[in-house]
Structure 1
């Protein structure tokens, strides 16, 4: 995540230096050495925190967002801000005084005056207002701040326009499921409700303005009213949508980007087979087109630029490369290599990845990402590992290395890796989400996973008798469900951070999400116990490895322990039928690379034991293992 300073004189990025991960500042003028100012894996000076992101506020201050699993009486991943004075080399908490719960939602940045607007909850208003944020104006140089917007009992998050005026508040009622949007046209007006509806289908059927346009009373919004998320201009007085101004056939649009003044739509991100940015700005579109002409369509992305969009950082890479970062100056046309995303891999092309479309047993067409082991080119009937993504509703898999390149790690061992975007996965429209919710959880969605193996087996790509499944979060649930429901299909499974007792999770989510949100598991499944692995521990199971973070607040450790206890009561033997790994410092999101590495190493050993990548009858032999330096 390299980020240019507003004047392009410096760059902030996470790097590995002498075997340790740091957040570092690089002087791009060549006048100073890199400043490795913050260890990202185990930063404990202000508590044990996971570094989430970073951004410049002016040219002298980097603002870092970190999260902790627990802050005082508040549990869950609570965000906090730190400021780093590049000149004084001083790191300090930012706007912590009276902060309660999360305090990291930056809604506006003023680079010229080195200030930001922060939406945060505060103890000042009493416990009844926890979760109802105020907005403060923060001087990032001194840390001093002043109140801009008091909390509103109906508002859970605020939004500002490009001038730093708080224009909108959005609230969600956990029990009714209604999202309410409050809006003011000018700074002096009172807020008024312009939207107040529930989405009973849980399919993202909501209208929340994202960019306030220079045209008075108009904004940019995304809506799936026509089946897919498209970009619209909306009249804030009537909440009426015009004709779509941007859409991609067959896919939902994603994140929207605005110009420097944040009063125009500048870009739209879309995940097709892989992530892509569509530029509305002709200059930026021309830059991306130039790099794609040189390196191939889809192989270049502008990732950061200065305030005038004259200096840019561009990532370049194929789907099986970690990639390279280049700098580009639009005035001079100069292109310079900044560095590899990963020095160890460099420009190496790893295991080839492509998207296929396979038929489900009920006729639906499903996209899946398939990664072939590069050492076994031309071989057929190979062992296969399915990696099932989390969510399940909303996320999806795509081509590319990505932040979690588990498919590359497993393919390097000699397995075909398949990652289905089963029904319910995001990016394929409202109806695809709804199809996952209708008798999907543990039933039809599980069939979709099985159908992917059947299809690849029919093509001669994989041996269906040499299949294992792994996954995290919902992928952990799916892996446990596979071991319990279809043991004849799966030689083994690896279940990470999964929900294994849906009834218990529904009770937990009633507190976490409210009465309305907690029902998302039960749609179409009258009896949650029927699809809960913990409640069906008897009988034959595939060998299962259970991995969970002790500090996981989203899916509590009790879910893993409950499954282990149920397996033990059913007579299954640890080390033979199942095993477990509880990671003391892990949350739901791998705060430390060492936790992820431990998970992958445990996975490798489990696969080697129950479904070895190479057996005597295989055409090839395993390549030699190169020890890490």
Structure 2
């Protein structure tokens, strides 16, 4: 019998909502889609007896910890903190990783900075990691940051973690020059950090690095070094990596080897490199695609590999027992998209998430020893099954014959003929959409629209040739790949070509800006969130952020934009701000004031240029919102502006 793990009176985060049965149900309110997931960041303790998770209650987030049978072990209100991950360090300590947009002393600009906290389940106390240091560390009041995604590595044994953090070097303009990365061993109950100089890579059980990676960004040389009795020795090198570099991922099938992901012709490949320096071995997985290793959460041992395919996910495990266990899980959910969320080290208890037809994302606790699964809760309990539109994975040919994969979400309860269409390109552009429940696409489908998500050239996950076909095609073929999808759906009788709008975020926001300015005549309206509107000015901003004209970040942008320098004249032709004379449809712009990826000024300057040209434009400021729409208030503000805009300028019925 399926029963809820969230016992009555614990958090009541995933209580089912009883809805009346009707033939043509009204769509759920916008708030049902805009709210942050009711349940997220689930993690099983190593002994399999406890679950930690983040629950959303109104505008507030709560860290919840309880036994698998539902006994509460602590509920902590963490307000509006942006939680990036939750994991167990041991059976008593939960690590919570958060970020905030702030301006630390000495920094040239505001950035997204990261912090880690520990929660002791027994004492029910929170402590900030690196609240102070000993043994020669700097005053952490000014250095409690982690660049990029940050790293928290769990040590086996005593309750310590390794935190890689930034330590002040000099206060100049570039982050890389302001701070150097340093490793601290941090006590989980006091938060006190001790500097460690012998960790910078794959960590052994004793907390010391067994292998490290290095990169000479000016020459493109990348290497792996292994620890010897004295110092390090290079065991593998690779050349010609000016932008795309290999990645040192972790241990191989034994603790005597490591795995490196290497970009090659035909896609990324994994190599197992022996630490003794002998011949590497290329790992082959048949035709299942590019692989990502899965590691033991405490020991770092290799457990298996994860594959994200065109429209499914696959797991391959190193042990036959684990492979058989996962096969039984898949057999229990034959028509669903199943993801592994968390597991005990012995792989006897798992948390999985199912998505698919009628499922917004349900978490299940699977006990393989007992042979049963228990429903924990749903991401979006206020969205009923009948409101979820069918998602089809399709292919169409671009004008030059390039095959473009795409996801097509259809409005529930409508005939698939002459539908109003929203084209929704993803961000990146070096990214992709994935199978499963997409709350943006499903919101639009619930309002009566078909939604096309093209995996245009330059997208990843569909082979290296598809990805590299996007080089130099920013605003060119990457843009017409979108309108070619409109023409395909019109020819198939699925979409009405006179009722098409475009909406996207980040790079998708750029594509939405470019629709009416660079590829006009296709869309009757455009809505752009956090988009790039002026490519030379974006490159200029990135140069200031990264500290040079030839940094890896600058090389990345120039490769997609097809530019050799910031003032390359060809960039004006694909900059929406400089092509506003072509715009002849209503345009909605949305941008967060705290965006650290694409500056708010990019939307502001586009709005100004459109107004000066006498064009129809509306701009929505998201005060306190970042690039990722991390708050429910920001998501709601976006949808409250977007849906009325689309319904006014592209009525769904």
* Same fold? TM cut 0.5: yes
Q: Which has the higher contact order (CA 8 A, sep 6+)?
A: 2
Residue of structure 1 in register with 2:57 after alignment: 17
1:467-546 equivalence runs, <5 A: 467-513=500-546, 514=548, 515-516=550-551, 517-523=553-559, 524-525=562-563, 527-546=570-589
Deviation of 1:480 after TM superposition, in Å, equals: 0.3
Residue of structure 2 in register with 1:331 after alignment: 369
1:447 to 480, 485, 508: 480
The alignment partner of 2:247 has SS state of coil
Deviation of 1:498 after TM superposition, in Å, equals: 0.6
Matched, 1:388 2:425: yes
Residue of structure 2 in register with 1:559 after alignment: 602
Residue of structure 2 in register with 1:627 after alignment: none
Residue of structure 2 in register with 1:580 after alignment: 619
Deviation of 1:429 after TM superposition, in Å, equals: 2.1
1:195 to 237, 255, 258: 237
Residue of structure 2 in register with 1:626 after alignment: none
Compared CA separation, residues 247 and 37, structure 1 to 2 (3 A): farther
User: Does the 8 Å contact 1:388/1:478 carry over to 2?
Assistant: yes
1:319-360 deviation line (CA, Å, top 9, x unaligned): 552132222223222332222333223655710101101011
Compared CA separation, residues 425 and 461, structure 1 to 2 (3 A): same
RMSD: 2.7
Deviation of 1:179 after TM superposition, in Å, equals: 5.8
Of the structure 1 ranges 593-602 and 488-497, higher mean CA displacement relative to structure 2 is found in 593-602
1:400 to 429, 436, 444: 436
User: Does the 8 Å contact 2:364/2:377 carry over to 1?
Assistant: yes
Residue of structure 2 in register with 1:374 after alignment: 412
User: Does the 8 Å contact 1:487/1:542 carry over to 2?
Assistant: no
2:302 to 256, 264, 267: 264
Which runs of no fewer than 5 residues in structure 2 stay unpaired? Answer: 1-40, 133-139
1:427-461 deviation line (CA, Å, top 9, x unaligned): 122222211013x1000111100100000100000
- Tell me how far apart the structure 1 counterparts of residues 516 and 421 of structure 2 sit (CA, whole Å): 15
Residue of structure 1 in register with 2:444 after alignment: 410
1:294 to 326, 329, 332: 332
Residue of structure 2 in register with 1:322 after alignment: 360
- Tell me how far apart the structure 2 counterparts of residues 536 and 54 of structure 1 sit (CA, whole Å): 45
Deviation of 1:21 after TM superposition, in Å, equals: 3.4
Deviation of 1:556 after TM superposition, in Å, equals: 0.7
The alignment partner of 2:227 has SS state of coil
- Tell me how far apart the structure 2 counterparts of residues 491 and 587 of structure 1 sit (CA, whole Å): 29
Deviation of 1:297 after TM superposition, in Å, equals: 5.4
User: Does the 8 Å contact 1:71/1:101 carry over to 2?
Assistant: no
Residue of structure 2 in register with 1:618 after alignment: none
User: Does the 8 Å contact 2:169/2:180 carry over to 1?
Assistant: no
Matched, 1:102 2:146: yes
Compared CA separation, residues 419 and 18, structure 1 to 2 (3 A): closer
Compared CA separation, residues 520 and 335, structure 1 to 2 (3 A): closer
1:253-290 deviation line (CA, Å, top 9, x unaligned): 34543575324352223243134333333333223221
User: Does the 8 Å contact 2:358/2:385 carry over to 1?
Assistant: no
Using the size of structure 2 for normalisation, the TM-score is 0.83
Compared CA separation, residues 258 and 493, structure 1 to 2 (3 A): same
Compared CA separation, residues 452 and 310, structure 1 to 2 (3 A): same
User: Does the 8 Å contact 2:156/2:205 carry over to 1?
Assistant: no
User: Does the 8 Å contact 2:246/2:263 carry over to 1?
Assistant: no
Deviation of 1:51 after TM superposition, in Å, equals: 1.4
Which runs of no fewer than 5 residues in structure 1 stay unpaired? Answer: 44-49, 152-156, 615-629
- Tell me how far apart the structure 1 counterparts of residues 293 and 577 of structure 2 sit (CA, whole Å): 38
Deviation of 1:199 after TM superposition, in Å, equals: 2.8
Of the structure 1 ranges 548-557 and 299-308, higher mean CA displacement relative to structure 2 is found in 299-308
- Tell me how far apart the structure 2 counterparts of residues 536 and 119 of structure 1 sit (CA, whole Å): 44
1:566-624 deviation line (CA, Å, top 9, x unaligned): 1122123xxxx11000101111111202201211221101101110101xxxxxxxxxx
What is the number of equivalent residue pairs in this alignment?
587
User: Does the 8 Å contact 1:230/1:246 carry over to 2?
Assistant: no
- Tell me how far apart the structure 1 counterparts of residues 298 and 130 of structure 2 sit (CA, whole Å): 25
Residue of structure 2 in register with 1:53 after alignment: 85
1:86 to 121, 125, 148: 121
Residue of structure 2 in register with 1:134 after alignment: 182
Deviation of 1:196 after TM superposition, in Å, equals: 6.2
- Tell me how far apart the structure 1 counterparts of residues 230 and 150 of structure 2 sit (CA, whole Å): 23
User: Does the 8 Å contact 2:420/2:450 carry over to 1?
Assistant: yes
Using the size of structure 1 for normalisation, the TM-score is 0.86
Of the structure 1 ranges 513-522 and 76-85, higher mean CA displacement relative to structure 2 is found in 513-522
Residue of structure 2 in register with 1:242 after alignment: 281
Of the structure 1 ranges 378-387 and 410-419, higher mean CA displacement relative to structure 2 is found in 378-387
- Tell me how far apart the structure 1 counterparts of residues 221 and 146 of structure 2 sit (CA, whole Å): 20
Compared CA separation, residues 508 and 198, structure 1 to 2 (3 A): farther
The alignment partner of 1:375 has SS state of coil
Residue of structure 1 in register with 2:101 after alignment: 69
User: Does the 8 Å contact 2:213/2:248 carry over to 1?
Assistant: no
1:121 to 166, 181, 184: 166
Compared CA separation, residues 166 and 28, structure 1 to 2 (3 A): same
Deviation of 1:384 after TM superposition, in Å, equals: 0.1
Residue of structure 2 in register with 1:463 after alignment: 496
Of the structure 1 ranges 447-456 and 593-602, higher mean CA displacement relative to structure 2 is found in 593-602
The alignment partner of 1:436 has SS state of coil
User: Does the 8 Å contact 1:385/1:467 carry over to 2?
Assistant: yes
User: Does the 8 Å contact 1:194/1:237 carry over to 2?
Assistant: no
User: Does the 8 Å contact 1:325/1:340 carry over to 2?
Assistant: yes
1:434 to 468, 478, 485: 468
